[in-house]
Amino acid sequence: MVAALEVFIDKGFAATRLEEIAARAGVSKGTVYLYFESKDALFKAAIEAAMMPVVEAVESIADRASLSAAELMRQFVFDWWRLVGSTTLGGLPKLLVAESGNFPEVARWFHEAMISRVQRAMAHLIELGIEREEFRPIDPMLAARIVFAPMFSLAVWRRAFPDCMSDLPEPQRYLDTALELLNHGLRKNSP
């Protein structure tokens, strides 16, 4: 699965051939077909194997009730960056943006299976902040998309423009700034 995900991220979905995946994994193409009926099936299985632990980890952050909603949001953002953005998995947003027009069913699946779950987890944290009266009333799902956007953008920028975007922000500083802006906008008593 790791070899498949690496090839998909390196070459893109359309350009990836099962022979390449088999070679990187050190198995025959026939072996790949024993376990996966198609390239789509292998792609989905590779992403699920890599991403499910991440999705479950960020979903569990809301269980840390002793932290403020802002601290939970910070934990969420930096855990996601540590587990996805700063790893090979950080190539998935760029891959999906690049391939979604040609393979909308794969992009739709990824959005429904992974992105929507992560956004719902963030929305839950925002709802928690609203319930605790730390955050002002706001549409939690819309706010979750706004929180997720800087993480997604940073991952795409780092993979798509590493050599031509000389002012690419350092992840820690960029995410700290995004959280600072978001938290001041969400705070109940902010001006």
pLDDT in tens, 143-184: 999 999 999 999 999 988 888 888 888 999 999 999 999 888
How many domains is the chain built from? 1
Terminal C-alpha separation, the chain = 49
User: Quick check: helix, strand or coil at residue 161?
Assistant: coil
In a domain, 191, yes or no: no
| Domain carrying residue 133 | 46-186
Q: What is the mean pLDDT of the chain?
A: 90
In a domain, 70, yes or no: yes
Residue 50 belongs to domain with CATH number: 1.10.357.10
In a domain, 33, yes or no: no
Q: What is the pLDDT of residue 134?
A: 93
Q: What is the pLDDT of residue 163?
A: 83
In a domain, 77, yes or no: yes
Q: What is the pLDDT of residue 184?
A: 87
Angle (CA) 27 33 35, round 5°: 90
Contacts of 162 (CB under 8 A, 6+ apart): 168
In a domain, 41, yes or no: no
For the segment 107-127, the average pLDDT, to the nearest whole number, is 92
Q: How many CA atoms lie within 13 A of 160 on its CB side?
A: 13
Q: How many residues does the chain have?
A: 191
pTM value?
0.84
In a domain, 91, yes or no: yes
Q: For residue 189, is pLDDT > 80?
A: no
Q: Contact 182/138 with Cβ under 8 angstroms?
A: no
Q: For residue 190, is pLDDT > 80?
A: no
In a domain, 38, yes or no: no
Q: Contact 103/14 with Cβ under 8 angstroms?
A: yes
pLDDT in tens, 50-96: 999 999 998 899 788 789 999 999 999 999 999 999 999 999 988 98
In a domain, 13, yes or no: no
